[in-house]
Amino acid sequence: MAFDTSKRSSYFLITPMAAIFAVFLVIPLLTIVIVSFWDYDEYRILPDFILENYSYLLGSSVTWKIYLNTLKYAALTWVFTLSIGFTVAYFLAFHVRSLTWQIVLFMLCTIPFWTSNIIRMISWIPFLGRNGLLNSALINLGIVDQPLEFLLFSDFAVVLADVHLYTLFMVVPIFNSMMRIDRSLIEAARDAGASGFETLKSVIVPLSKPGIAIGSIFVITVVMGDFITVRLMSGGQSASVGLQISNEIGLLQYPAAAASAVVLLITVLLIVTGLLRLVDIRKEL
């Protein structure tokens, strides 16, 4: 390395970040774990060591239903974001030929990411509502004669909003992986007689795996922990694990919320560990 400064300077430079992570990430997570064993009444939380929060949570059939529902949202969102994200990234990386156009079109995809998620959810209302654009169009075209009720405030709306919000999380890492594929490999495949589809299947997809894995981690963890999309887009008719936690917070049942949070954290970590076996993140930067 160029600098021959001592290791001390590394420690000095990393201290602020380490301190913030310690105070606002590690200690709060430990607090959650500790409080999940506490007792509570209507007014306060009481230090204790009880297992009721967990036994109640895991013994309730509602919990399992909510987990199943959340996993359903995660799975559907994952399938759609992956297929759309992969296609978009593939188009940008292999079919757009000039770098300037690649950058311009890529920016076009990323700009909405910088705007408010809540506003982006709200923006579906005039489109999907009972008297919304889509229903009017369908009625005018004579495809349906009654407005479709399932468009807004339904599972459909939740998944649609999730896909709308998070497809970018797939596009970016997959595009990044694709841009690193050596173009001569593709030529070699073509010279060896592979069709476009065969090249895609046996060269591009395998080499894009790290991007796919990173995108999947992002999308799945975000949807697993989400509560605001579910609340806004299902109109309070569906539940997710995050929503359950936020409801318990609203009722000041902090130990119950903490126990749900611990279970959610374990679930998310298991999923991520599984996906990390496919990719070494540090090598991808």
Partner 1 sequence: MAITRERRSTSFYILAAFFTLFVLFLYGPMLTIFILSFQGENGGLTFPMNGFSFHWFGNLFEQQAVGDFGGSFTRSLKLGLIVMVVTVVVSFMAGLAFRKRFRGDSVIFYLAIASLIVPSILISLGIGLLFNIIEWQPQWFTSALGAHLTWTFPFGLLIMFAVFNRFDPSYEEAARDLGASNWQTIQYVVLPMVGPSLIGVAMFSFTLSYDEFARTLMTAGALNTLPLEIYGMTTNVTTPVLYALGTVTTGFSFLVIGIALGSVMILRRRKGQKA
Residue number with CB closer to partner 1 (30 or 58): 30
Ranges within 175-194 binding partner 1 (CB under 8 A):
none
DSSP 26-65: IHHHHHHHHHTT-EE-SS-EE----SHHHHHHHH-HHHHH
Return the residue of 158, 261, 263, 279 that touches partner 1, per CB under 8 A: 261
Residue number with CB closer to partner 1 (61 or 131): 131
Q: How many CA atoms lie within 13 A of 5 on its CB side?
A: 7
Asked whether position 28 contacts partner 1 by CB under 8 A, the answer is yes
Query: Which CA distances in Å does 225 have to 20, 117, 268?
Result: 22, 15, 8
CB of 243 vs partner 1, minimal distance in Å: 9
Q: Is the Cβ–Cβ distance between 18 and 29 less than 8 Å?
A: no
Ranges within 192-211 binding partner 1 (CB under 8 A):
196
The whole-angstrom separation of Cα 171 and Cα 80 is 12
CB of 16 vs partner 1, minimal distance in Å: 5
Three-state DSSP class for 115?
A: coil
Q: Is the Cβ–Cβ distance between 157 and 128 less than 8 Å?
A: yes
Asked whether position 27 contacts partner 1 by CB under 8 A, the answer is yes
Asked whether position 17 contacts partner 1 by CB under 8 A, the answer is yes
Structure tokens at 97: 């030929």
Asked whether position 16 contacts partner 1 by CB under 8 A, the answer is yes
| Residue of 178, 119, 152 whose CA lies nearest to 234 | 152
Q: Is the Cβ–Cβ distance between 135 and 148 less than 8 Å?
A: yes
Ranges within 44-63 binding partner 1 (CB under 8 A):
45
CB of 129 vs partner 1, minimal distance in Å: 5
CB of 253 vs partner 1, minimal distance in Å: 11
Residue number with CB closer to partner 1 (35 or 212): 35
- Per-residue x/- track, 135-174, partner 1 (CB under 8 A): -x---------------------------x--x-------
CB of 130 vs partner 1, minimal distance in Å: 8
CB of 186 vs partner 1, minimal distance in Å: 14
Q: Which listed range, 51-59, 139-147, 201-209, 242-250, lies at the site for partner 1 (CB under 8 A)?
A: 242-250
Residue number with CB closer to partner 1 (167 or 238): 167
CB of 192 vs partner 1, minimal distance in Å: 19
Query: Which CA distances in Å does 205 have to 6, 136, 274?
Result: 44, 41, 19
The whole-angstrom separation of Cα 128 and Cα 122 is 10
Q: Is the Cβ–Cβ distance between 77 and 157 less than 8 Å?
A: no
Q: How many helices (H) and strands (E) does the chain have?
A: 16, 2
Return the residue of 55, 115, 202, 237 that touches partner 1, per CB under 8 A: 115
Residue number with CB closer to partner 1 (17 or 192): 17
